[in-house]
Amino acid sequence: MAVITALAAPVGAIAALVAVGLLKLIALFTNLCFHGRLSFAQTTPAGTTHWWLLLFMPIVGGLVIGLMARYGSEKIRGHGMPEAIESILVGGSRVQPRLAVLKPVSSAISIGTGGPFGAEGPIIMTGGAVGSILAQFLRVTTDERKTLLVAGSAAGMAATFNAPLAAILLAVELLLFEWRPRSYLPVAVGAVTATLVRGPILGTAPLFGGAHVPAQLPISAYGLCVAAGIGAGLLALLATWLVYVSEDLFAKLPLHWMWWPAIGGAIIGIGGLFEPRALGVGYDVIDQLLTGRATVSLIIGILVVKTLIWGLSLGSGTSGGVLAPMFMVGGALGAAEGLVFPSVSPGFWALVSLAGVLGGVMRSPLTGIVFCLELTHEMNALIPMVITASAAYLLSVIVLKRSVLTEKIARRGLHLSREYSVDPLEVHLVRQLETPVTVTFRTGGSASEATALLRAAHQGGDAERLLAQRLYPVLDEDGRLAGVVTRAELLHGAPDDPRPLGALTRPAITAHPDETLRTIANRMAAHHITRVVIVPRGDAGGVEGILSLRHLLEARRVDLHEEQHAERLITPFRRTPRPSRTVARGTGELQPQKGQLTP
């Protein structure tokens, strides 16, 4: 863990430089395509004086993206997050080295020619490629390679937005699939290193101006935050639906997918004629929305045009991220609500709606809340943002099965769980479930005698005691465990086998009463067995019991019961308590049995 954590520092530094390079490259292409100048200064497509550039440049960019995807790497298509997840789920966290070059270049071309996308998705994929490539040169496990990949992704995102904590949370909620020291520490080091490297180059100030939220808010504002969250959730549903309806429509076209980004570029160009400020990343527009300086025409134009061209063009398979567009659309929604809601401060409703849209679209409410805090440093808006993001998240979870970030993963036949809980096997100990041993053998006895005993039991009336046990401990003369023999080995053995039973025994895989069931499950998997012998710690010797896969399922059953069973523990106005009756929904009565946990 210490070694991987140390390696995350250079990964974070390189990812930060790549992120800075991507932002400069986007600025360069924007200047070249819309202003005809060679410059790395920040600019927007809206500043051009030629309307035909707004219409045709996105088409040219789409053609270039299609060619790069066809003859370079198809992995550059999309907004980057699903591709990073897929490489973790099924690719062993291996990323092709050429992707580290093609992805940022294609994204810079896409955004620089007017694409209404963000740089965060591509840099997540590119930063992940940096970590993965370094790991591929080293002798590491798949999990360690995944950790370095995610450390690079989080570093790229932290450097892009100067938001290290939000980057760490996004990594945990969407990429790591775990919350453990071995993965958290490298990711944290990578994100912090990237933020420190970014500082001297791009500055340490918040990315957007604050809404100057007062410390004391009227109670009515908190209630309206719920309404703002519902509105943000509905917008998140619309945006998610729009992206994948567009993707389905493009899939039905009688054209090779190489031409789809150009068609998406035509959609962008038409939208740019109506609202030029909807093109590009639009950080300047987001700043106007969050500081209350946006006009009504800008608010409506962004809310309608940006949502349509982003959703429809992203389905074409072009290259670009989803966060910056959601910043703009969410801010526009809140600014529109601010025209009706009571005024709290300039940009307040834009800020809380931005958090709500992130919570609904990404299905990562904590990331959305922290993101907005780090982007604006508006701590006074924390509680309103929690309310809004949580309401949007609730609506999204109820209505949609998956988020815009994970729907594509499901469409590729993969399953991704976004819910984290403690493994029920981790909270139960062996001593709670072990079955007592009723039959043991001695090493001095002959194999033929043990075989004859079991066969006689099979034909007689002692089968329940002898045959219910499938693994038999074999003890030495001092009563200590010498090994084990299975029931199948004895029943199928020769009836005249003269060898001592000790010759048939195999080494016993053991467990201790105070170990967790998860530890034992891992031990069973490592040794390809289904039963272990329980022995006391120390030199006490002897055998305490046997644990099998059935016991592991029993622990799962108890967890399922606690999740599904509803009961009233305190009933008012009842004088004589009725006998307790425990019934799980759809499963009938649960009867305590020997060797089982009682719910």
**What phi and psi, each to the nearest 5 degrees, are found at residue 319?**
-110, 125
Q: What are the tokens at 171?
A: 């990594």
Q: Which of 223, 233, 217, 229 is nearest to 343 (CA)?
A: 217
Q: pLDDT tens for the chain, 599 residues: list them.
A: 999 999 999 999 999 999 999 899 999 999 999 988 988 888 889 888 888 999 999 999 999 999 998 888 887 777 666 667 777 766 677 777 787 788 888 888 999 999 888 877 788 888 888 898 899 898 888 889 989 999 999 999 999 899 999 999 988 877 887 788 888 999 999 999 999 999 999 888 888 887 788 988 999 999 999 999 999 999 988 888 888 888 889 989 898 989 999 999 999 999 999 999 999 888 889 999 998 889 999 999 999 999 999 888 888 888 777 888 888 999 999 999 999 999 899 889 999 999 999 888 888 888 889 999 999 999 999 999 999 999 999 998 888 777 766 666 666 666 666 667 778 888 889 988 888 887 788 877 777 777 777 777 666 555 555 556 788 888 888 788 888 888 877 777 667 777 777 777 888 899 999 999 999 999 999 999 999 999 988 766 678 889 988 888 888 888 888 888 888 888 777 665 555 544 443 343 334 444 555 44
Angle subtended at Cα 526 by Cα 423 and Cα 503, rounded to the nearest 5 degrees:
135
Which residues make Cβ contacts (< 8 Å) with residue 151, sequence separation at least 6?
8, 11, 12, 131, 171, 186, 187, 189, 190, 191
At residue 94, the 3 state secondary structure works out as coil
Q: Within 203-259, where are the H helices? A: 219-251
DSSP 443: T
Count of H helices and E strands in the chain?
23, 8
Report the C-alpha gap between 340 and 467 in whole angstroms: 77
Domains of the chain: 2-202 (1.10.3080.10), 219-411 (1.10.3080.10), 425-553 (3.10.580.10)
Note the pLDDT of residue 589.
38
CA distances from 48 to 35, 42, 83, 310 (A): 6, 14, 34, 21
Note the pLDDT of residue 579.
55
Crossing angle of helices 348-362 and 219-251, in 10° steps, is 50
DSSP symbols for 484-532: EEEHHHHHTS-TT--SBGGGT-BPPPEE-TTSBHHHHHHHHHHHT-SEE
